[in-house]
Structure 1
Amino acid sequence: MAYAIRYARAGGPEVIDYVEVPDREPGPGEVAIDVAGVGVNFIETYQRSGTYKVDYPFVPGGEGAGVISAVGPEVTTFAVGDRVAWAGIPGSYASRLVGPADKLLAVPRGLSDEQAAAVPLQGLTAHYLATSTYPIQAGDTVLVHAGAGGVGLLLTQIAKIKGARVITTVSTEEKAELSREAGADEVIVGYTGFADRARELTDGEGLPVVYDSVGRDTFDASLSAVRRRGHLVLFGASSGPVPPVDPQRLNDAGSVFLTRPKLADYTVTRSELLERSTELFAWIGDGRLSVRIGGTYPLAEAARAQSDLTARKTTGKLVLLP
C-alpha cells in the first residue's frame, strides 16, 4: 500500500487526512514512481481553502521527484530505476504515483532528491517568466516581488544571467539578505514605497516589467511602477486575489500589458518542456543557478508545511518527504 494526503473538504487544517491508498499498475504510456520528494506550492493552499474549486476528496500536489518502479506498455523513453522529476502530474502528495511518461524529466547526476523535487514547477516558471512572458534584455531593470521565495530566488538569478539589474521586495531583513545573495541589486523590505523607488532607479521612466506573485497587496503599486508599454506579470496571489480590473486603467498607466500566465501554457509540447528544462538544468549544473531548500517536512505533516508557507515564515522551496 502507498500513502497520500487527502483533502476531505475545503476549510482549514482539519480537512487534511493522511491515508492509505491502493496501488495501481501503470497503463499505456504511464509509469509508476516511488516518490522521493514532493514540492509544496501555493496552489495547494488555494485548493485546500476552497479558493480554487476541486472535487472532494482530493489528493493535492503536482510536483516532485522519485525513481521509476514500473513501466507500462508503449513507454520507450524511461526504464525501471531511472530518476525522474515532474511538474503537472496530479496527486503528487503521495508515496507512490502513477502518471504519464511524457510529463517526466530525467534528473541529471549531482542533483539530490530534494533539489530535483524543488526545481520543476518553480524553476520552469522562473524560466518562462524571464525568457518568454517578458524576455529580459541585458540592461533592463526589473522588479521581482517576494524575492526570497522559491520563484523569487530563481527568477532573480535568471534575470542576472540575462544581464538585468534586479529590484526585489521582501518582508524581513533576513529575507533581504537571502535576496542579495541571489544577486538582487536593490532590496526593499516591506511592500510600500517600491513604486517610487523603481521610478527613482529608472530616472522617472518606470520599469519594463514587474513580476508580481503577491497579488492584492501589491497590484496597484506594481501597475504604477511599470513604464509606458511595459509589462505587469501577475503570476500569483499570496496576499489574495486581485479584484476585477477595468481595462481603462491599463490605458491610463501608459498602454501597459497585463498578463496572468501559467506554466501549462508555456510547456504545451514535449519539445518546449525539454527545451526549458534542459537550459534550467544546465544553469544548475554549471553553478550559475542555485536551488535553495527552505525546509523539509514528512509527508504526513503537509498541513504544517502549508501553514508555514502561507504565514510567510519560509524562504526558498519547501519539500515533503514520503
Structure 2
Amino acid sequence: MQALYFEQFGGVEQLKYGELPQPQPHDDQVLIRIKACGLNFADIYRLRGNYHIAPHTPYINGYEGAGVIAAVGTAVTEYQVGQRVFFADVPLAQAEYVVTQPEKLIPLPDTISFKLAASIALQGLTADFLAHDLGCDQPGTTVFVHGLTGGVGQILAQMLTADGINVVGVTGSETKRQLALKQGAQQVFLRTDDWIKQVQVGTPIMTVYDGVGATLADSLAIVQPRGKVVFFGMAAGDPAPLDPVKMLNSSKSLLTGDLWDYLDSGQARLKRSQRLFSYFQAGKIQLTAAQQFSLADGRAAYQALLNEHTGKIILTL
C-alpha cells in the first residue's frame, strides 16, 4: 500500500511517501480503505517526537479519517465489506489502508461525504461534547468562544448558535472576524484591541470556551459570577497556575474534559455522530472549504498547517 511515513523524528523534511506492506485484519478486526484523512497539530507534535505515537516501523501518523470497509475478520458481525465508515481515534491513518477494532468505527451516512467526515471527525465530536456535556448552555444566554475560525471554533460557534445561544468571541484578524460574523457570531473582537475590557462592559458572559490555554486567566476575568469556563486545550501554550480561592470568592467554575472519556462505547460514538451530522444535514453549520492535498503531497500539507491558514486540512487518496 501507499503511505505517508517517517523513520526519525524532526520536521516536515522527514516525511516520505512510498510503498509499505498492507496491514491484514485479525479475526476481530476490520480493514478500511482510506478515502480521506484529517491533518491536525497533534500530527506535527508526533512528527517532532514530543507527543504519543503508535509504535510502528516506520512511523505512520494520523488518527482521523473516512473510507470504505475492504475486509472483515471472521469474528466481526457489525460491519460488512463495502460499508462507509469514519473514525477519530484509529492510529496509522495516513495510509491507503488501516486496520482497527470495529468499536472504533462509526457508520457514515450517504449524505456526508468522505471529505467532510475527515474534516469534522475530531473537531466536530469535540465541539459536540463541549456544547452538550460541559457547557450545557440554555437558549438565550451569551457565551464567549476563543478562536472562532479554528477547527473546533467554527463548528462549536455555529452549533451553539443553532441551539439558540448567543455567541461572541475573539479572533486574530479582520478577515477572520468577518468570517465569524458570517457564520452567525453576534459580536467578534480583535486580539489586537483591548478586547477584555470591551467584553467586560458588554452583555454578561455565562460560559467561556477556551482551547487556547494561555488565555485561561483572561477567560476567568470575562465570565460573570456563577458562570463557567470550559477549558479544553493549549493551542498557545500552558495556562499560568490558578488560585482556586479567587474562583471560590467570585463564584466562578472551571470545567475540563477529554473527548475519549465521552466516546466510551460504540453506542456513544453513534449517538454523538448522528447529533453532529444533523447540524450539517439541516444546513445549520457551514464550514470554509477544507484545503485538500493528495497523500503523496503530504509534506506540502504539513507545511500548510504550520503556515497561516483557516479551516481544516485533509489528505485524500
Work out whether the TM-score is over 0.5: yes
Deviations 1:233-275 (A, max 9, x none): 22222222324444345335x2432234221011112222111
Distance, in Å, in 1 between the alignment partners of 2:202 and 2:22 is: 56
Distance, in Å, in 2 between the alignment partners of 1:186 and 1:26 is: 50
What is the letter of the counterpart of residue 214 of structure 1?
Answer: V
Tell me by how many angstroms 1:160 deviates: 0.7
- The change in CA–CA distance for 1:126 and 1:306 in structure 2 (over 3 A counts) is same
Distance, in Å, in 1 between the alignment partners of 2:59 and 2:256 is: 25
Distance, in Å, in 2 between the alignment partners of 1:300 and 1:12 is: 17
Distance, in Å, in 1 between the alignment partners of 2:239 and 2:312 is: 24
- The change in CA–CA distance for 1:194 and 1:294 in structure 2 (over 3 A counts) is farther
- The change in CA–CA distance for 1:38 and 1:7 in structure 2 (over 3 A counts) is same
Distance, in Å, in 1 between the alignment partners of 2:78 and 2:59 is: 30
Contact preservation (8 Å) 2:119, 2:290? no
Contact preservation (8 Å) 1:150, 1:292? no
Distance, in Å, in 1 between the alignment partners of 2:5 and 2:243 is: 38
Match of 1:224? 221
Match of 1:210? 208
Residue 238 (structure 2) pairs with residue 241 (structure 1): yes
Q: How many residues align?
A: 315
Tell me by how many angstroms 1:298 deviates: 1.8
Tell me by how many angstroms 1:304 deviates: 3.1
Tell me by how many angstroms 1:314 deviates: 1.7
Tell me by how many angstroms 1:53 deviates: 4.2
Deviations 1:163-221 (A, max 9, x none): 1110122222221222112111111122653322222222xxx42211112222x2221
What is the letter of the counterpart of residue 172 of structure 2?
Answer: S
What is the letter of the counterpart of residue 212 of structure 1?
Answer: D
Residue 311 (structure 2) pairs with residue 316 (structure 1): yes
Distance, in Å, in 1 between the alignment partners of 2:124 and 2:134 is: 14
**1:166 alignment partner, SS class:** strand
Match of 1:153? 154
Match of 1:262? 258
- Within 5 A, what are the aligned runs for 1:171-190? 171-190=172-191
- The change in CA–CA distance for 1:22 and 1:249 in structure 2 (over 3 A counts) is farther
Query: Unaligned 5+ residue runs, structure 1?
Result: none
- The change in CA–CA distance for 1:149 and 1:288 in structure 2 (over 3 A counts) is same
Superposition TM-score, scaled by structure 1 size: 0.90
Query: Unaligned 5+ residue runs, structure 2?
Result: none
Deviations 1:27-60 (A, max 9, x none): 1332111101001122212223344244685322
Which region of structure 1 is more displaced relative to structure 2, 298-307 or 120-129?
298-307
Contact preservation (8 Å) 1:118, 1:291? no
- The change in CA–CA distance for 1:278 and 1:191 in structure 2 (over 3 A counts) is farther
Tell me by how many angstroms 1:148 deviates: 0.9
- Which residue of 284, 288, 298 maps to 1:292? 288
- Which residue of 267, 274, 285 maps to 2:270? 274
Distance, in Å, in 2 between the alignment partners of 1:100 and 1:191 is: 47
**2:23 alignment partner, SS class:** coil
Match of 1:45? 44
Tell me by how many angstroms 1:152 deviates: 0.9
Distance, in Å, in 2 between the alignment partners of 1:244 and 1:9 is: 35
Match of 1:25? 24
Superposition TM-score, scaled by structure 2 size: 0.91
Deviations 1:257-306 (A, max 9, x none): 22342210111122221111111112211212234333011223334323
Distance, in Å, in 2 between the alignment partners of 1:250 and 1:59 is: 43
- Within 5 A, what are the aligned runs for 1:2-17? 2-17=1-16
Contact preservation (8 Å) 1:134, 1:209? yes
Distance, in Å, in 2 between the alignment partners of 1:58 and 1:248 is: 45
Q: Superposition RMSD on alpha carbons, in Å?
A: 2.1
Tell me by how many angstroms 1:11 deviates: 3.3
Match of 1:140? 141
**1:176 alignment partner, SS class:** helix
Match of 1:170? 171
Distance, in Å, in 2 between the alignment partners of 1:45 and 1:317 is: 14
